[in-house]
Structure 1
């Protein structure tokens, strides 16, 4: 996992939480969803003009799309090649890493933790007051990885977490201690979960998603199945990236995540055929092999 993954996918605050429910997704988030669905694993570069067309369908301006594409290319997240007057963009190993992570969260892990074995990851740290930036970055990464703050510098996650990537490039890494543990009496795990996570805020994200998508009337401003699927997947990924996947047995009985996941998967499957057909007409692509051949040194 790279620094790019945290910067591009880590929740940035309340604005992104709202975006997940209103459709006001950031251009870079929409782009990552698009590349994950139509470029990852397909061995192609796609024309910039095609990307502009797709993001225009979900209300992103040409200027915003071009600026985001340029920024991603400068940071090594996209590879660009010119063919005549056209520019094509493809994935790099950095962007593939980000997109594979999102793919795992959507299709393998899901939103509901129904197979928890009772193992917690405990992480503790104590940083000097002067290390405010290090503390902020560490806490942000812990939240991104599903940790909740139990008390002081003690954080917990309801699974076995590989913490190495979370501590990459941080001076604070030397002051972090990590353990695996199980809760023992008299600890009440239900109370522990309520104390460490804001369950109401988590549930509200799913409720807003259901209010927007669990309806026979498609969201306004989305002209076709490709646009609706792109926005649907983007909003869903934003939500589950902020969900620590708490054990189902320790959540309220009316927890909305499972229903929201059912709606997402059913609607995504419904939109898939038409979205793929539109994409086949819209996307101008060239195979990665052709790009590699052009970049190979002469014999």
Structure 2
């Protein structure tokens, strides 16, 4: 489940030596727009991709989002092409666009899968050149590579673990950026210490801080709440906080990570909550939409 499908028209250029994390380090409070994306990723598709506006208001109300905020966020997601207004049985509601369906499917592989990268797997290199007259595409390309988990090694040369190759290829084609990029599978031969080089190519400190904050926020979360409504609210909060983390983290082999890496603990916490709360949350969602 990626961010909403409409790409930004422009973004600030990135330093050559090190790509910045695509989001601020500090974990932001969930927004109505973000919660809607998380809801459709976790539950909306299982409902057939459509939900009545009134039911969405009820569900997000459990997370402290009032009705005007839900309706405003839904309207913005419609403008961005993530949702489509559609009536069902005379009831006003919204369904996912085809592009949103694809983005959520792409996100599933990233959010719900633990990557087990090995040094012997090699790397994928993205080498690109964009004319000055199409500067906005250069900004979009850099931004999207960063969100995919690539790090910048030199002007126009970005690197990622090889397990990101297929996702990168698919994303570049979907955003019509493929004509500007060549992708290569590569092995690292010399000359820098690879662990030191990785620390230059990625801001691992920012990723580490994000994992630590997620762990601190959800470590003591009750995974056996008294009722399904609480399970729904707790899981959606956890998913909304977690789903950006796998995009900040390139999924490097363990040999290249800091010794006190918090990513494993954070993943353990999320998957524990996913395993224990997600299905109970679905029970509550169905009780609301089928009443």
Specify if TM > 0.5: yes
- Checking the alignment, whether the CA contact within 8 Å between 2:57 and 2:67 is kept in structure 1 is yes
- Whether 2:130 is the aligned partner of 1:87: answer no
CA distance in 1, matches of 2:288, 2:182: 51
2:124 matched residue in structure 1: 121
Contact 1:167-1:173 at 8 Å conserved across structures: yes
Partner in structure 2 of residue 276 of structure 1: 282
Q: Distance in 1 between matches of 2:285 and 2:82?
A: 25
The one-character-per-residue Cα deviations of 1:57-86 (angstroms, maximum 9, x if unpaired) are 2232322321232333352633511534x3
Distance in 2 (CA, whole Å) between partners of 1:50 and 1:269 is 25
Q: How many residues align?
A: 274
1:53 aligned residue: 58
Query: Paired residue for 1:186, among 191, 212, 216?
Result: 191
Choose the corresponding residue for 2:182, options 177, 181, 196: 177
TM-fit CA distance, 1:131 = 4.2
TM-score (norm 2): 0.80
TM-score (norm 1): 0.78
| Equivalent in the alignment of 1:96 | 101
Render the CA deviation track for 1:230-256: whole Å, top value 9, x for unaligned: 010111102112221112221122211
Q: Answer with 148-157 or 184-193: which moved more.
A: 184-193
Please state whether the residue corresponding to 1:190 is helix, strand or coil: helix
Q: Tell me what 2:235 maps to.
A: 229
Q: 1:137 aligns with which of 135, 140, 143?
A: 140
Q: Is 1:47–1:284's contact at 8 Å kept on the other side of the alignment?
A: no
Q: Is 1:40–1:99's contact at 8 Å kept on the other side of the alignment? A: no
Q: Within the alignment, does 1:151 sit opposite 2:154 as a pair?
A: yes
Is the contact between residue 77 and residue 94 of structure 1 (CA under 8 Å) also seen in structure 2?
no
Per-residue displacement from partner, 1:19-74 (whole Å, max 9, x unpaired)?
Answer: 6x24x123232112111222214436322111111222223232232123233335
Partner residue, 1:256 = 262
Q: Is the 8 A contact 2:82 2:96 kept in 1?
A: no
CA distance in 1, matches of 2:49, 2:135: 43
Aligned CA-pair RMSD: 3.3
Pairwise CA distance, 1:122: 1.3
Match of 2:73 in 1: 68
Deviation per CA, 1:243-284: give whole Å up to 9, x if none.
211122211222111111111111233323542332232224
Question: CA 1:38–1:214 in structure 2 vs 1: closer, same or farther (change >3 Å)?
Answer: same
Kindly state the Cα deviation for residue 105 of structure 1 after the two structures are TM-superposed.
Answer: 1.4
In the alignment, structure 1 segments of 5+ residues that lack a partner are: 286-299
Q: Could you say which residue in structure 1 is the equivalent of 2:83?
A: 77
8 Å contact kept, 1:30–1:234: yes
